[in-house]
Amino acid sequence: MVALNENAEQVIEEVPVVEGEPVVQVEGEVLEVPAEPIKNSYTLFYFNVKALAEPLRYLFAYGALEYEDVRVTRDEWPALKPSMPMGQMPVLEVNGKRVHQKIAVVTYEPDDQIKEKKLITLNNEVIPYYLEKLEQTVKDNEGYFALKRLTWADVYFAGILDYMNYMAKRDILESYPSLRELVDKVNNLEPIKEWIAKRPQTEV
C-alpha cells in the first residue's frame, strides 16, 4: 500500500513495519501499486541450530513468507564454505543473490581462560548496560522497541534471545520485566507460536 496525502506533495511519514500492510515512503510522487504482489524466492543457509539465523526464521514465520530452510551439516560445510560471500553463514539467497552479515551480538572465543573472563565482563557489565537501556526504551514505547507498536526489532530480539541466553549461560532477562513481557508477546503471536511448535529441536 502507498500512503499519500490528497495532492501527493507530501507523504505520510511511516516506517515499514511487519504488522499490517507495508507503507512506502516517497516524496512528491505517486507510485503505482503493482497488480500482483512480487514473488521472491528465499533460501536461508545456516547450520542446524537456532543461534544467529533464528531472528530471520521468526521474521519469515511472522510474514508468512515461504523460504527454504537449508540446514548445512558439519560434513557438508567445507565444500560449501568457499561459495559463501564471507565464508560464513547465515546467508540469505534472494532470487539467486546471496546476502550476508546479521547483527553480531556475542562472539566466539576459543581460549577457555579468556572466554571465562569475557563471560564475567559480559554478565556484569555489558549485558546490564544495554538491557537497562532497552528495558527503559520498551517502557517508554508502550511495550515495544519503537513506534509504540510491533516492528521487526521486537521480532529480531525475541528470535535472538535463546542464543544470547546460551552464550551468557543464564536467563539474561531475569531482572527486566518489560523485555520479558515483550518477548512473551512476540512468541505468542500465532505465526511465531506455530513456527516454535514445528521447528527442528536443537540444543542451541
Ligand X SMILES: N[C@@H](CCC(=O)N[C@@H](CS)C(=O)NCC(=O)O)C(=O)O
Other Cβ atoms less than 10 A from the Cβ of 147: the count is 14
Question: Helical H runs in 169-203?
Answer: 177-187, 190-198
**Residue with Cβ nearer ligand X (81 or 133):** 81
Query: How many residues interact with ligand X (rule CB under 6 A)?
Result: 11
Q: Which of residues 101-140 bind ligand X (CB under 6 A)?
A: 101-102, 104
- Residue 167 engages ligand X in binding (rule: CB under 6 A): no
Q: Which stretch binds ligand X (CB under 6 A): 55-63, 99-107, 178-186, 189-197?
A: 99-107
| 183 three-state secondary structure | helix
* Beta bridge partner(s), residue 183: none
Q: Which of residues 68-97 bind ligand X (CB under 6 A)?
A: 81, 87-90
Position of minimal CB gap to ligand X:
88
**Residue with Cβ nearer ligand X (28 or 85):** 85
Q: 53: closest CA among 95, 8, 92? A: 92
**Residue with Cβ nearer ligand X (2 or 70):** 70
**Residue with Cβ nearer ligand X (11 or 91):** 91
Shortest spacing between CB 51 and ligand X, in angstroms: 6
Q: What are the cell numbers at 23?
A: 507503507
Q: Which of residues 22-41 bind ligand X (CB under 6 A)?
A: none
Burial (0-12, 13-18, 19+ Cβ within 10 Å), 169: exposed
The Cα–Cα gap between 127 and 105 comes to 11
**Residue with Cβ nearer ligand X (38 or 104):** 104
Shortest spacing between CB 103 and ligand X, in angstroms: 7
Burial (0-12, 13-18, 19+ Cβ within 10 Å), 22: middle
**Residue with Cβ nearer ligand X (19 or 162):** 162
Q: What are the cell numbers at 129?
A: 548496560
For residue 69, give every residue at least 6 positions away whose Cβ sits within 8 Å of its Cβ, in sequence order, or none.
44, 57
Shortest spacing between CB 152 and ligand X, in angstroms: 16
Query: Where along the sequence are the contacts to ligand X (CB under 6 A)?
Result: 51-52, 81, 87-90, 100-102, 104
